[in-house]
A and B are shown apart, each in its own frame.
Chain A
Amino acid sequence: GDSVTQMEGPVTLSEEAFLTINCTYTATGYPSLFWYVQYPGEGLQLLLKATKADDKGSNKGFEATYRKETTSFHLEKGSVQVSDSAVYFCALSVRGAQKLVFGQGTRLTINP
C-alpha cells in the first residue's frame, strides 16, 4: 500500500541554522507530494506541493524537490526562524483517491 516515511523527531535547531527533514514514499501510481505544517492548537496548513518528477515546491523560504528516482521529497530551509517551530508532515495523494497518506510528523523547535 501507499506509505510515507519521515525522519523521526524531535528536531531542535538554533535560529538561522539550515534545516533538512527527510521524507521518502512508496506509492502504487504516480502520486502528488505535499508538506503540511501544524502550529500548536491549530489544524494543518499546506506548506508546499509538487505534482510531477523534478518539480520543486517552495513557500516561505521552504523548498522540496520531487525525486522520482529516489522516491523522496525532502524539506529544506536555508535559515530557520523561531516562528518556524511547528510539526511538519510529509504526505502523498494518488490522483482520484480522495485521501492523503501522511508521514508520522516531525516536531521542529527553533531556539533563539
Chain B
Amino acid sequence: KAGVTQTPRYLIKTRGQQVTLSCSPISGHRSVSWYQQTPGQGLQFLFEYFSETQRNKGNFPGRFSGRQFSNSRSEMNVSTLELGDSALYLCASSLVGGQGGSTNEKLFFGSGTQLSVL
C-alpha cells in the first residue's frame, strides 16, 4: 500500500510569488491535514479537509489556502510569498480524521515539501 505522497519534494520561489503543493493520501483515506514545520515555530497546524470540506483551520493568514478533490487528493496554496514562509510543509492522511486515539484516526505523514523563499 503506497504511503502519503507529496510533490514536489523541493521548491525554490521568490518573494511575492505564489506556490501550490500537492498531497496524495493513502488509498481509502478521506481526511487530509497540513502542517508547517519551521526551526523557530516548530510544527503548526494549517488546516484539515474531509470529503472536500475544510473542517478545521489553524491561525495562519488568508494567504494560506487549501482544497480537497473528490479523490481525496489535496492541494495547498500560498500566495504573495514572504521570506518567513520558508518551511517544510507536511501532509498527513487518516481514514476519518479527528486525530484522537482510535485506529481510524491514526495519522500517516508524507515526507514533506521543503519550500525556500528567496
Contact = CB atoms under 8 A, between A and B. Distances in A.
A49 B101 contact: yes
A100 interface: yes
A103 B101 contact: no
Given A32-B101, A43-B109, A99 B56 contact: yes
Given A98-B31, A98-B55, A105 B90 contact: no
B97 interface: yes
Nearest to B4: A43
B110 interface: yes
Given A32-B101, A98-B97, A99-B33, A89 B106 contact: no
Nearest to B106: A46
B110 to A, nearest CB: 5
A43 B55 CA distance: 23
Given A49-B101, A51-B101, A43 B45 contact: no
A82 interface: no
Nearest to B91: A43
A41 B109 CA distance: 12
B31 A100 contact: no
Contacts of B110: 43
Contact of B111 (A42, A51, A102): A42
A89 B44 CA distance: 12
A101 B99 CA distance: 10
Contacts of A32: 99-101
Given A46-B106, A97-B99, A100-B99, A105 B42 contact: yes
A10 interface: no
A44 interface: yes
Contacts of A98: 31, 33, 48, 50, 55-56, 97-99
Most buried by A among B50, B56, B107: B107
Given A99-B58, A99-B99, A46 B31 contact: no
11 contacts: A32-B99, A41-B111, A43-B92, A43-B109, A49-B101, A98-B48, A98-B56, A99-B33, A99-B99, A100-B45, A102-B44
Interface of A: 32, 41-46, 49-51, 89, 91, 93, 95-105
